[in-house]
Amino acid sequence: MSEKIRELISEEKVDARIREIGQQISRDYAGKTLHLICVLKGGVYFMCELSKRISVPVSLDFMSISSYGDDTKSSGVVKIVKDLDQPLEGKHVMIVEDIIDSGRTLGYLMEILKKRNPASLKLCTLLDKPDRRVVNSVETDYCCFEIPDEFVVGYGLDYAQKYRNLPYIGALDFEE
């Protein structure tokens, strides 16, 4: 079985939308410092580009959470692979995620982080698949693109650790 990638969102459209979201976040957090939490590995591409476009002071931290393994569907089992290096108490925190699918991972993560007493906790995602949501309490505060229920790669998103480096968002199709 071979893999084929169809471009869904061009590099130019991704770049323009991240710029818009960065400007919106900058307005919303004017006069504040924002602590960005990147959900590794996929979120790192998005967070780097987003943080460059935010004009308020930002600090960065990283978490690694897994619910996919090498499959194309979430297993439903969420595990923390790497926790944060810095405390969140009193900080304005924004989780930066590459994609929200079922919402299980983000729902779990947000509950954990709320218990760490941040001043605020928001969610920013590059991609959202609302049709796949099974945890309805997960709502995005900032979303670049809503996409249909397709398995996507590129701009940090992978299939079995491949295709993260594509500069656009593509749908992965399998051919016999």
Please check whether residue 6 lies inside any domain of the structure: no
Cβ of 164: how many Cβ atoms within 10 Å? 17
Strand partners for 175: 2
Please check whether residue 169 lies inside any domain of the structure: no
Strand partners for 80: 65
Alpha-carbon gap, residue 131 to 133, rounded angstroms: 6
- Asked if 128 is an active-site residue, the reply is no
Name 16's Cβ contacts closer than 8 Å, sequence gap at least 6: none
**pLDDT of 15:** 97
**pLDDT of 147:** 95
**pLDDT of 74:** 53
**pLDDT of 156:** 93
Please check whether residue 21 lies inside any domain of the structure: yes
Please check whether residue 101 lies inside any domain of the structure: yes
Which band of pLDDT confidence, cut at 50, 70 and 90, is reported for residue 106?
confident
Mean pLDDT value across the chain: 91
Of residues 98, 101, 128, 158, which has the active-site annotation?
Answer: 101
Say what the pTM is. Answer: 0.89
Please check whether residue 157 lies inside any domain of the structure: no
Statement: residue 77 has pLDDT above 70: no
Please check whether residue 108 lies inside any domain of the structure: yes
Please check whether residue 49 lies inside any domain of the structure: yes
- Do residues 47 and 61 touch, judged by C-beta distance below 8 A? no
**pLDDT of 139:** 85
- Whole domain around residue 99: which residue ranges? 12-147
Give pLDDT tens digits for 36-56. 999 888 899 999 999 999 999
Number of domains in the chain: 1
Side by side, the strands of the sheet bearing 2-9 are 2-9, 169-175, 152-153
Q: CATH number of the domain at 58, please.
A: 3.40.50.2020
Q: Which two tokens stand for residue 163?
A: 């295709």
Please check whether residue 174 lies inside any domain of the structure: no
